[in-house]
Amino acid sequence: GKRCLIKAIAAGIAAAFCLFSFSPVLAAEAIDTAKKTSLTLSYVNEGTALAGVTVHLYRAASVSAAWEYTLTADFQKSAVKLDGLTTSSQWNTAAATLAAYAEAGGVAETAEKTTDSSGQVSFTGLQTGLYLILSDTVTLGDTEYTTAPFAAQLPAQTVQNTWTYDVAAAPKNIGHQTIVGNMTRFKVVKHWDDSGYESQRPETVTVDILKNGTVYTTQELTEDN
């Protein structure tokens, strides 16, 4: 027995990643895991500051002094592999999977704040670790802006291979489009409930979206999305 829980949520899907460098190069100094950290995010798209974006922060993993991640209790069942990830594409996939798990499983968020008039939001007093950031869609004028889930490491590694505990960054490639009429967005979350049968999962899951009882569009979900 294998069951797939599919949950439709009115939210946007976009491809984006934060301007963090998840470098495989080890810093010269050990991470002070007891030290508090902060994270400041700037939401700006082509010169437009995105005010009013609600940002949800989740501590997805703890980090050791030697920069080894361990999923927190809330995310352990997601089975996301964090070791050996070096490229933006790999971290995009990990963040998307963690986000799907958080949304489907009702994981409690660590903190929630809204961007100010300059598009900035700051979180302070955070434990070290890997954080998942989910951003609500915001509409400014006749334009809708969406940001895909992304991950932030606290502390972050600098170009000098040291650690910075006060991290400032920005989401990359924020999606936007002009609103025409009444629009509705759906996100389809693929969450497996098949402990012991993981090897029997199909490679793809096809989802039909119906409009007034008729198939309007079809989406195919894979391991990558």
Whether residue 7 is predicted with pLDDT greater than 50 in this model: the reply is no
d(CA 84, CA 24): 8
Flag the least confident range among 29-38, 124-133, 157-166, 196-205.
196-205
pLDDT at 62 over 60: yes
Cis bond leading into 155, ω under 30°? yes
DSSP helix, strand, coil percent of the chain (3-state; round to 5): 10, 45, 45
- The pLDDT of residue 178 is 83
User: What is the dihedral angle through the alpha carbons of 142, 134, 150, 79, rounded to the nearest 10 degrees?
Assistant: -140
Average pLDDT, the chain: 83
CB atoms within 10 A of CB 75: 23
Q: Tell which residue, 136, 140, 148, has the closest CA to residue 10.
A: 136
Q: Please give the Cα distance from 172 to 147 (Å, whole number).
A: 8
Phi, psi of 14 (to 5 degrees): -145, 160
The per-residue pLDDT for 12 is 28
Q: What's the alpha-carbon Rg for the chain, to the nearest Å?
A: 18
Structure tokens at 157: 């590694």
Residue 67 has pLDDT above 80, yes or no: yes
Burial class of residue 142 in the structure, from the number of CB atoms within 10 Å of its CB (0-12 exposed, 13-18 middle, 19+ buried):
exposed
Percent of the chain with pLDDT over 90: 50
Minimum mean pLDDT among 117-131, 163-177, 182-196: which range? 182-196
**pLDDT band with cut points at 50, 70 and 90 for residue 133:** very high
pLDDT digits (tens, 9 = 90+) for 84-132: 888 888 888 899 889 988 988 779 999 999 999 999 999 999 999 999 9
pLDDT tier for residue 3 given thresholds of 50, 70 and 90: very low
Identify the band that residue 2 occupies on the pLDDT scale cut at 50, 70 and 90: very low
- Residue 214 CB partners (closer than 8 Å, separation 6+): none
Residue 166 predicted with pLDDT over 50: yes
pLDDT at 86: 85
